[in-house]
Amino acid sequence: MKQAWDVIIIGAGAAGLMCAIESGRRGRKTLLIEHCEKIGKKILISGGGRCNFTNIHASPDNYLSENPHFCKSALSRYSPHDFIALIEKHNIAYHEKKLGQLFCDGSSRQVVGMLSTECAEHSVTIITGCSVMEVRKDEIFYLSTSKGDFTTQTLVVATGGLSIPKMGATDFGHCLADQFGVRRTELKPGLVPFTFPESIRSEYEELAGVSLAVEASVQSAQFRENMLFTHKGVSGPAMLQVSSFWKDGIAIEVELLRTEVLDALFKKYEGSQKEVGTILQEALPKRFLKKFLDTRFQMRPFSSLQLSEREYLRQACFMWKFIPGGTEGYRTAEVTVGGVDTRDISSKTFQAVNVEGLFFIGEVLDVTGWLGGYNFQWAWASGFCAGQYT
């Protein structure tokens, strides 16, 4: 015998949990299905185990989508301050780390516990370790799962993207979109480290572990953050940010040392006999300088530099351009860029335009946030808004 529900949500991640809470709050008989053994697995590992649960500066400008207007409605209806209010209601201590990024003082388990408590308070049933084998629809939806058969008037797809498959990521949500004729955009890994082409990888291996503050640019996107050299390529927040905008074969430009910092050093050591390489170590790592600073400058007294040589340092020495060989892929990507085409989804309700009762929320959609709590804010906002209509 099939169990009947008003709402079934597939995927107990951030978006699915938030949607379940709101559906349950409205008195809807709600079932939340998760194929992993635990709910909120990505929440648990985020922010080094402290969960970067939102960003106080979150706005539509911080999101990528083929339709950049789609996210505006949800982000305006459920803001970072709304989620902060929920955090404070549950007495979870938090702090701002940098750039508006909010983290738990304690553990990310507190956030999962909070969401689980809210689900219980609103009579949401959660089944973990439950795989969905088949979904079909006549007047209502029929689900065949490893834990039994279910029917529902409303089906919410909150299955996430393809990033970090070892955490249970699959293409299930995208396949459901295909099954019901909902379009998808092109998919690729986002917020992911770059790899160097084999032809130049050995050239930079000696810099593995070196980190420095840079401004990274690709096409129209620019981010000033840290960059980290790895054995395979480059990582760090600056590289992760531009990776979401990068396309194969496109060069990435990196300002390795800000001109104003260099000018300040020039002024500080005007007339000094101190060696150029030693002076620059005040701003850049020694191992990095050994690789990037032309040897003709390393041992030179600063006072011996000609104006043309100073200009060369300013304009050429600390601007670096490279074309990545690729990225580390979904294995280490924090998000999936692309997804269910928002042209086929209502920005108000998150229901598929041509399939009554079918909703898509969270990362499965073609909405991708920057690094720094923006993707969680999208999950909370899209889940909350869909929950008002499921």
Q: Which of 188, 281, 284, 279 is nearest to 227 (CA)?
A: 284
The pLDDT-based confidence of 167 (bands split at 50, 70, 90) is confident
Q: Distance from first CA to last CA of the chain, Å, rounded?
A: 24
* Out of 167-171, 292-296, 367-371, least confident range: 292-296
Query: What is the structure's pLDDT at 154?
Result: 98
**Exposure string over 347-369, b if 16+ CB within 10 A, otherwise e:** eeebbbeebebbbbbbbbbbbbb
Task: Identify whether residues 107 and 27 lie together within a single domain.
Answer: yes
The CATH number assigned to the domain holding 134 equals 3.50.50.60
- What is d(CA 172, CA 135) in angstroms, rounded to the nearest whole number? 11
Task: Identify whether residues 219 and 308 lie together within a single domain.
Answer: yes
Task: Identify whether residues 32 and 92 lie together within a single domain.
Answer: yes
List the domain range (segments joined by +) for residue 296.
194-327
The answer on pLDDT for 76 being more than 70 is yes
Beta bridge partners of 141: 137, 152
| Half-sphere exposure of residue 362: CA atoms within 13 angstroms, side-chain side | 29
Task: Identify whether residues 52 and 152 lie together within a single domain.
Answer: yes
- Cα–Cα distances (Å) from 311 to 263, 316, 318, in that order, read 10, 8, 11
Task: Identify whether residues 233 and 270 lie together within a single domain.
Answer: yes
Residues 340-356 have pLDDT tens digits of 999 999 999 999 999 99
| Encoded tokens for 136 | 């079909």
Task: Identify whether residues 9 and 124 lie together within a single domain.
Answer: yes
Residues 307-342 have pLDDT tens digits of 888 888 877 778 899 999 999 999 999 999 999 999
- Average pLDDT of the segment spanning 200-217: 94
What DSSP element (H or E) covers 288?
Answer: helix 286-292
Task: Identify whether residues 287 and 355 lie together within a single domain.
Answer: no
| Encoded tokens for 108 | 């990310």
Query: What is the structure's pLDDT at 309?
Result: 87
Supply the mean pLDDT for the chain.
Answer: 95
Query: What is the structure's pLDDT at 239?
Result: 98
User: Into how many domains does the chain fold?
Assistant: 2
Task: Identify whether residues 279 and 382 lie together within a single domain.
Answer: no
- What is d(CA 109, CA 51) in angstroms, rounded to the nearest whole number? 8
- For residues 358 and 351, the answer to whether their CB atoms sit within 8 Å is yes
- What is d(CA 240, CA 226) in angstroms, rounded to the nearest whole number? 10
Task: Identify whether residues 50 and 177 lie together within a single domain.
Answer: yes
Identify the domain boundary among 280, 296, 327: 327
Residues 177-196 have pLDDT tens digits of 999 999 999 999 999 999 99
Task: Identify whether residues 183 and 198 lie together within a single domain.
Answer: no
Query: What is the structure's pLDDT at 299?
Result: 87
- Average pLDDT of the segment spanning 91-104: 96
Task: Identify whether residues 175 and 127 lie together within a single domain.
Answer: yes
Rounded to 5 degrees, φ, ψ at 45 are: -90, -10
- What is d(CA 333, CA 311) in angstroms, rounded to the nearest whole number? 39
Identify the domain boundary among 327, 351, 366: 327
The CATH number assigned to the domain holding 223 equals 2.40.30.10
Identify the domain boundary among 282, 302, 327: 327
Residues 124-149 have pLDDT tens digits of 999 999 999 999 999 999 999 999 99
Query: What is the structure's pLDDT at 1?
Result: 58
- For residues 224 and 251, the answer to whether their CB atoms sit within 8 Å is no
Query: What is the structure's pLDDT at 150?
Result: 97
Say what the pTM is. Answer: 0.94
The answer on pLDDT for 366 being more than 90 is yes
Task: Identify whether residues 173 and 25 lie together within a single domain.
Answer: yes
